[in-house]
Amino acid sequence: MLKEFTLKTDQEGLYNITARVGETVRESGVKDGIAVVWCPHTTGGITVNENADDSVRGDLLLGLDRAFPDRPEFRHAEGNSAAHLKSSCVGVNQTIIIEKGKLLLGTWQGIYFCEFDGPRQRKFFVKVMGGLKHES
Ligand code: ZN
């Protein structure tokens, strides 16, 4: 099963998409398999991180800004090379195990769409693969 989602971002940030991925897994009926979350953008990404303390998301963005500052030497005419660097560093996909029909996330883990260049109209895909019966 493949499902496409749209996401309107108002600024750079991490947007929690865990519920939408979980709902896709439920709709698929897959009990034992994997879900791949895919971002088809070059200045966005997908990550798994803290879902409890909101300040962690801000700290991640601050750390990425420090690691990938805008530089006058960059030649990309669009002027957003730092966002491209962050996208390649974080990655554009995550694979999450499905066990007994549920995402095998840790208690404090959530799935996030990373916007490094908003505001923009974005999309992401969730591909669910596996068996409809639980294999122990
Ligand atoms: Zn660009």
DSSP string, 82-121: HHHHHHHHH-SEEEEEEETTEE---TTEEEEEEESS-SEE
pLDDT at 134 (0 to 100): 80
What protein residues have CB closer than 5 angstroms to ion ligand 1? 78, 80
pLDDT at 128 (0 to 100): 98
Ligand 1 geometric centre to CA of 8 (Å): 18
How far apart CA 29 and CA 102 sit, in angstroms, is 10
Query: What 3-state class would DSSP assign to 41?
Result: coil
pLDDT at 136 (0 to 100): 67
Ligand 1 geometric centre to CA of 117 (Å): 9
* pLDDT lower than 70: segments of the chain: 136
Looking at the whole model, is its pTM more than 0.75?
A: yes
DSSP annotation of 127 reads E
Residues with Cβ within 8 Å of residue 90, at least 6 apart in sequence: 45, 46, 47, 64, 114
Ligand 1 geometric centre to CA of 58 (Å): 23
Ligand 1 geometric centre to CA of 65 (Å): 16
pLDDT in tens, 43-62: 999 999 999 999 999 999 99
Ligand 1 geometric centre to CA of 68 (Å): 14
Ligand 1 geometric centre to CA of 27 (Å): 35
